[in-house]
Amino acid sequence: MTIAELSNVPEHVAIIMDGNGRWANERGQPRSFGHRHGVEAVRTVVRAAAEIGVKYLTLFAFSSENWRRPETEIQDLFGLLKFFIRRDLAELHSANVCIKVIGDRHSLTSDILNLLLEAEETTRNNDGQTLVIAFNYGSRDELARAAQSLALEVQAGRLDPSQITPDAIAARLDTAGIPDPDLIIRTSGEERLSNFLLWQSAYSELMFVPEYWPDFGREQFFAAIERFGARSRRFGALAPTAAAGS
């Protein structure tokens, strides 16, 4: 498939990168082996998304529920994040990519937090693609933090309860200023959102693909974009043909 064959490229694509562990297990390897190969898939997809003009790419890197995993696996995931940023930050910066991190930062160790802050600060003024890294992110936690922020403003007398609108909530989410995802892709064949962008996905197109994340490359990404382009997005309205005949 060539880039010329793609039409209706989404502005914002979000991906739940799932299946690293199962990919490794099927090869008789430890889960860390799958995570390492998953990082290479990240590099491939980031480049492919920029190539076709995806303006925002959000990757679910570490969920707030992932703390339940074995400590050795958590440390391995943290190590891979460090490796990815240290290796690729200069390349992303030179490609005019702006990095934004969403998620709860309070429980992160200083080395991880400082690295994420460095990536954001280094690329802050870039105006090309925005790469959103969801790290220690959970949508319910994000909504709770937004509600707490609104409650404090009401308590302080700066906000009337009648002013708590959908726009007011959206403005206090981690994704404030970022358009809602047009397309959410989950790899590995699982068909659920797993606490990812629950508010923002109200009208997202959902796509569940069978490939494990390490096998999700340029060709698979372009195939998903092609499928997205064939869908009709109505946002609650009638399809054009139905409206014309009504």
Per-residue pLDDT at 131: 98
Q: What percent of the chain has pLDDT over 90?
A: 78
Domain boundaries, the chain: 3-138+180-230
What CA–CA distance (Å, rounded) separates 161 from 16?
Answer: 35
**126 belongs to the catalytic site:** no
Structure tokens given for 127: 């105006």
Catalytic residue among 8, 66, 111, 125: 66
Please, what is the average pLDDT of the chain? 92
What CA–CA distance (Å, rounded) separates 172 from 187?
Answer: 29
Which of 56-60, 70-74, 120-124, 125-129 is predicted least confidently? Answer: 70-74
Average of per-residue pLDDT across 202-218 = 98
What CA–CA distance (Å, rounded) separates 93 from 128?
Answer: 10
Catalytic residue among 18, 76, 88, 182: 18
195: left (phi over 0), alpha (psi -120 to 50) or beta: left
Number of Cβ atoms within 10 Å of the Cβ of 195: 16
Per-residue pLDDT at 10: 97
Is 188 annotated to bind a ligand? Reply is no
Residue 52: pLDDT band with limits 50, 70, 90: very high
Residue 5: pLDDT band with limits 50, 70, 90: low
Q: What percent of the chain has pLDDT over 70?
A: 94
Per-residue pLDDT at 246: 44
Residue 234: pLDDT band with limits 50, 70, 90: confident
Q: Which residues pair with 60 in a beta bridge?
A: 16, 134
Q: Which fold has domain 3-138+180-230?
A: Undecaprenyl pyrophosphate synthetase (3.40.1180)
Which of 75-79, 145-149, 162-166, 221-225 is predicted least confidently? Answer: 75-79
Average of per-residue pLDDT across 47-67 = 94
**111 belongs to the catalytic site:** no
Say which residues have a Cβ less than 8 Å from residue 180's Cβ, sequence separation at least 6.
12, 197, 200, 201, 202, 203, 204
Number of Cβ atoms within 10 Å of the Cβ of 147: 13
Is 162 annotated to bind a ligand? Reply is no
Is 64 annotated to bind a ligand? Reply is yes
Is 20 annotated to bind a ligand? Reply is yes
Strands of the sheet with 98-102, listed across from one edge: 98-102, 130-137, 56-63, 12-16, 183-186, 205-208
Number of Cβ atoms within 10 Å of the Cβ of 86: 12
Per-residue pLDDT at 4: 55
Helical packing angle, 71-94 and 31-52, nearest 10°: 20
CA 212 to chain centre: 17
Which comes out higher in pLDDT, residue 13 or 234?
A: 13
What CA–CA distance (Å, rounded) separates 21 from 188?
Answer: 10
